[in-house]
């Protein structure tokens, strides 16, 4: 089929972007390559593909390893990756942590409380755009999402089908076991339009760091790298 040559070109690009970026910033890792670069780098087709890009949120309460989803949100992932590479995020903090209530999802009950851990990535270079609007993805437990038109994000601690596509999903937390260690209280409530939300009285700083991707074995074209760049091609 006609698609196949494109697939191999884009797989190659995933690999070469990674390599090019290893010394000097990875701005091109997710987006922003040019056609001319693509041609120049096709010769690297035999290089191993990169594994998934991951970042880590950490504090004394525990850590979250997050697999980025540039296939869903390339611009957001690029911004997060750039910040994570700096490794310096003085304004990164959590400030809202709502538990998962009993009977979540039963008979249309979706809170309150609202089953999330929310915080700020205020050090992002700019506000990420609202992405993956056209996809039929629903927010599932462990997804990490940006709230549109700001630099605030949350980790879903339960499935959130009731929210539809109102947020940008940009990653998946691989292991949520640290989440209950993050404080749920003290908090205060705020009611607006009959919706009561919980806000922590204190904020809890975290660090955001980048985890270098490990190249995968060469082989089938189904790796994240392929998905990532195929997505860009559309
Ligand atoms: C972030 O990392 C720095 C340097 O390793 C460390 O001193 C600081 O305590 C960390 N902050 C948090 C919130 O864990
Ligand atoms: C809030 O809830 C009450 C009782 O369920 C209802 O009567 C009222 O119309 C609601 N107000 C708004 C703004 O939705």
Q: Is 59 in the pocket of ligand 1 (CB under 6 A)?
A: yes
Residues 148-159, mean pLDDT to the nearest whole number: 97
The verdict on domain 54-210 having CATH code 2.40.160.60 is: no
CA of 13 to the centre of ligand 2 (A): 54
Give the residues surrounding ligand 2 with Cβ less than 6 Å away.
193-194
**pLDDT over 70, % of the chain:** 71
CA of 154 to the centre of ligand 1 (A): 21
Dist CA 197 CA 98 (whole Å)? 8
Domain ranges in the chain are 3-51+215-233, 54-210
Atom 11 in ligand 2: residue holding the nearest Cα = 194
Ligand 2, closest atom to CA 194?
1
pLDDT of residue 49: 66
pLDDT band for position 125 (cuts 50, 70, 90)? very high
Residue 10 has pLDDT above 60, yes or no: no
Residue 210 has pLDDT above 50, yes or no: yes
Q: Is 53 in the pocket of ligand 1 (CB under 6 A)?
A: no
**Residues 60-95: pLDDT tens digits?**
999 999 999 999 999 999 999 999 999 999 999 999
Residues 155-169, mean pLDDT to the nearest whole number: 95
Q: Which residues pair with 153 in a beta bridge?
A: 119, 146
DSSP notation for 190-221: EEETTEEEEEESS-EE-EEEEEPPPBPPS--S
Q: How high does pLDDT run on average in the chain?
A: 79
Ligand 1, closest atom to CA 59?
14
pLDDT of residue 218: 52
Dist CA 209 CA 203 (whole Å)? 19
pLDDT band for position 132 (cuts 50, 70, 90)? confident
Quick one: which of 234, 231, 229, 218 has its CA closest to 33? 229
pLDDT band for position 8 (cuts 50, 70, 90)? very low
Q: Is 207 in the pocket of ligand 1 (CB under 6 A)?
A: yes
Ligand 1, closest atom to CA 204?
13
């Amino acid at each position: 089929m006609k698609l196949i040559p494109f697939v191999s070109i884009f797989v190659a690009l995933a690999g070469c972007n990674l390599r090019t970026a290893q010394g000097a910033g990875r701005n091109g890792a997710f987006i922003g390559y040019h056609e001319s670069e693509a041609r120049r780098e096709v010769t690297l087709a035999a290089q191993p593909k990169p594994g998934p890009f991951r970042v880590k949120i950490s504090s004394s309460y525990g850590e979250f390893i997050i697999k980025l989803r540039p296939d869903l949100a390339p611009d957001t992932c690029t911004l997060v990756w750039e910040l994570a590479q700096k490794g310096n995020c003085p304004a990164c903090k959590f400030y809202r942590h709502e538990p998962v209530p009993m009977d979540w999802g039963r008979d249309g009950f979706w809170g309150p409380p609202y089953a999330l851990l929310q915080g700020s990535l205020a050090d992002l270079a700019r506000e990420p755009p609202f992405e993956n609007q056209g996809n039929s993805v629903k927010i599932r437990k462990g997804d990490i999402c940006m709230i549109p038109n700001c630099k605030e994000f949350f980790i879903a601690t339960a499935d959130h089908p009731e929210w539809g596509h109102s947020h940008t999903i940009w990653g998946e937390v691989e292991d949520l076991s640290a989440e209950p260690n993050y404080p749920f209280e003290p908090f205060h409530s705020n009611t607006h339009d009959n919706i009561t939300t919980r806000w922590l009285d204190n904020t809890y700083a975290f660090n955001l760091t980048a985890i270098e991707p490990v190249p995968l074995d060469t082989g089938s074209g189904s790796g994240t790298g392929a998905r990532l760049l195929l997505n860009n091609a559309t």
